[in-house]
């Protein structure tokens, strides 16, 4: 398993402890989250996604694998909480020290 970049680790840790401010701090201002086909552009919309589908659903993430190639990191997770429960894949694209894009499948 490849080590996780700090912004990715920050996003995962913030989700698990329910810290929306720390989660948003891991994303660039113009970042995009695509959650099973629904797109959230910019930190304000990412905050809406987080409040409804992530921390708002008491999501917990356990990393089961990670691989980084260039600016893309694919993280395998086990998801639990009040929403989706089961295996998932988080594909992060990073630039500088922040997350530019997160695709959740």
Domains parsed from the chain with CATH numbers: 6-104 (3.10.450.50)
Per-residue pLDDT of the chain (105 residues; tens, 9 = 90+): 889 999 999 999 999 999 999 999 999 999 999 999 999 999 999 999 999 999 999 999 999 999 999 999 999 999 999 999 999 999 999 998 999 999 999
Distance CA 47, CA 87 (A): 23
Strand stretches in 25-85, DSSP E: 27-35, 38-41, 60-69, 72-80
β-strands 98-104, 27-35: how paired? parallel
pLDDT score at 2: 86
For residues 17 and 95, give the distance between their C-alpha atoms in angstroms, rounded to a whole number.
25
For residues 25-39, one letter each, b for 16 or more C-beta atoms within 10 angstroms of the residue's C-beta and e for the rest, the string is: ebbbeebbbbbeeee
pLDDT of residue 1: 82
Q: The whole model's pTM is what?
A: 0.95
């Amino acid at each position: 398993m490849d080590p996780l970049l700090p912004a990715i680790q920050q996003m995962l840790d913030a989700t698990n402890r329910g810290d929306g401010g720390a989660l948003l701090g891991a994303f660039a201002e113009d970042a995009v989250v695509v959650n099973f086909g629904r797109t959230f552009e910019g930190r304000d919309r990412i905050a809406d996604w987080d409040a409804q589908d992530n921390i708002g659903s008491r999501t917990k993430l356990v990393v089961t694998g990670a691989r980084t190639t260039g600016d893309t990191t694919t993280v395998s997770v086990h998801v639990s909480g009040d929403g989706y429960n089961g295996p998932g894949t988080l594909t992060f694209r990073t630039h500088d020290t922040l997350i530019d894009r997160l695709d959740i499948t």
